[in-house]
Structure 1
């Protein structure tokens, strides 16, 4: 399913909207995890010297 990344039949703004939605979901998930104190994969990568 590699052709779904650059499908010429799909409008550009639709792809951008889906990408923004995906980024926003990631951002919200990271914020929720930060509130609960559970480390996400991204924060594990950046803050290794926690303990």
Structure 2
């Protein structure tokens, strides 16, 4: 994989800390969030902060 901006790498590392989620799956999850509309990212962040 080419250059990944530090904030994206940080997101990948955060997803990879979930049990059963490896680096490759974490990358897929991060890039899914990046491709989604901003509202999805906001909803995801709010859901995480609410728990």
Q: In which range does the TM-score fall when normalised by the shorter chain?
A: 0.3 to 0.5
Larger Rg: 1
TM-score calculated relative to the size of structure 2: 0.36
Q: Counting helix residues as a fraction of each chain, which structure ranks higher?
A: 2
TM-score calculated relative to the size of structure 1: 0.36
- Bigger RCO (CA 8 Å, 6+ sep): 2
